[in-house]
Amino acid sequence: MIKTGYTMLPKNKTNNFLTGTSPYSRIIMPLVFLILGFTAFSVDAAILDTLHRDPIAPIILGVTGILFVAIIGRIGARHLGQPPVVGELVMGIVLGNLAIPLGIDLVLVLREGPAIFDVVEQMLAGECVENAAATAFGNTSSNHIASLLQGPHGTELLHVVDAVDVFSRYGIIFLLFLVGLDSSVEEMRKVGTDSTRVAIVGVVLPFLLGLAATRLFLPDLSINSALFIAATLVATSVGITARVLNDLGKSTSQEAKIILGAAVIDDILGLLILAIVSGIIVSGSIDFAHMGLTVLIAVMFLGGAIFFGPYILRFIIGLFRKFDLIEAKMFVSYMFVMTLAWTANLAGLAAIIGAFTAGLILHDAYFSHWGEYKKHEYSIRDLIMPLEVILVPIFFVLMGIQVKLETFFNFESVLIAAVLLIVAVIGKLACGLAARKHVDRWTIGIGMMPRGEVGLIFAAIGSSLEVIDDALFSAIVMMVIVTTLATPILLKLSTRNLK
């Protein structure tokens, strides 16, 4: 028995309820979070006007509301045995598409994605809000968005939208940093020929199939959009595969080692293709000289960071020798990842390339001044993970909010989604054929199939570059969800006979 206030409760019942193992908590806790999350979005602005609040209050309310929605999604995903990213995406889709009947102004503005910032830019240039909204959104939603931005809470809405965008961008930077942290330059050198072949086929084939499919089924689509869709199909989220293989007790199998090794190379090649395609879109033409320059800059950035990074790290860490270990690891990690992300952007590459490179270089062994790194109480991953846990779900919910289900109310949009899904599955399944004959090629192909968070990041960048419209964005997100959901189920079937 334990004492709680004026009552005495059986210890086991209290623990079961608090830890979520009680059947009552599985019903009550999601409902509590659902009510809190909905309340965060539906508080009447007129009531807030009567309060003497800090200007930051709307941002706190909006961002926390999105996080509540993400938590609900995670709870649901875990109860169904699915990756958290799926739950967060689905909850974002639900929230985004209920925003119109429920009249949730913030979500309606968030739903428009990067285009809302184009409206603000045009407004600052002297354009009236009606014309700016019509140019950015067309005639379907421009009037309502314009009225929201001109309303008494238009400024607050823009502040919240801007904050959510910034938090989500920080989230993907930390996410790619942790992805890189799980790998290392040394591991890249050790991966065998099987992993290299699987990675190359898993990048080249989906890209070519995606490009061919878009030109065949969407002949009116611009070459820039086609290139970016093809680049999105290249992505692989091996974190989902690694988790499933670990849960199945197959993480030490030869197939698992090939998949994980290929994933490292896949990430590098995928980011390189993203850099090339983004460069083509920004320059406005397919210039082979410009493409060569983009590749050269990317290779020089990666090579320079990998070569000079350790020297810079040792110098920076030397400046923090008087700090506690936790302070040193936090400050150095944050400064290093943000510096490389900024430098990558300065070089004309995506910031996430710099973040991934920072994770690839940095590891706990650099902090030997505080003793043997294996005996440190906290690793870099342990310290950065709380930032990732809070910020990344905001990104995934935001991606879900921007999925407009009404875009699937016509045959062309459904066709786009179906074509992308088929190409996405075939392109990755076929890469398993590049492995040796004595391994299970089917398992390897399935393991490379989920797009997960990496595919969403690519889609978000395409949306920000304005080469992916609402229909294409929604189709890509649906492809990501299906491939992510299908992978655990198919892996369980394909690994039954693995040793």
This prediction's pTM: 0.74
In this predicted structure, which of 88-92, 177-181, 367-371 has the lowest mean pLDDT? Answer: 177-181
Burial class (CB in 10 A: 0-12, 13-18, 19+), 286: exposed
Tokens 């990842």 identify what position? 337
Encode pLDDT of 188-201 as tens digits.
565 567 888 888 89
Q: Between these two residues, 273 and 121, which has the higher pLDDT value?
A: 273
Q: Which of 224, 193, 223, 210 is nearest to 427 (CA)?
A: 210
Q: What is the pLDDT of residue 9?
A: 44
Distance, in Å, from the CA atom of 203 to the CA atom of 2, rounded to the nearest integer, reads: 58
- Residue 356: half-sphere exposure toward Cβ, Cα within 13 Å: 22
Distance, in Å, from the CA atom of 326 to the CA atom of 321, rounded to the nearest integer, reads: 11
| Stretch 89-107: mean pLDDT | 83
Q: Strand 7-9 relative to strand 2-4: parallel, antiparallel, unpaired?
A: antiparallel
- pLDDT of residue 334 exceeding 90: yes
Encode pLDDT of 339-375 as tens digits.
998 988 887 777 877 888 888 888 888 998 888 888 8
Encode pLDDT of 38-49 as tens digits.
555 554 444 445
- Measured at the CA of 29, the angle between CA 246 and CA 81, to 5 degrees, comes to 25
- pLDDT of residue 30 exceeding 60: no
The percent of residues above 70 in pLDDT, for the chain, comes to 79
The CA distances from residue 206 to 160, 229, 236, 458, in Å, are 37, 10, 11, 14
Encode pLDDT of 397-407 as tens digits.
888 888 888 87
**Cβ 366 vs Cβ 292: under 8 Å:** no
Distance, in Å, from the CA atom of 168 to the CA atom of 213, rounded to the nearest integer, reads: 31
- pLDDT of residue 453 exceeding 60: yes
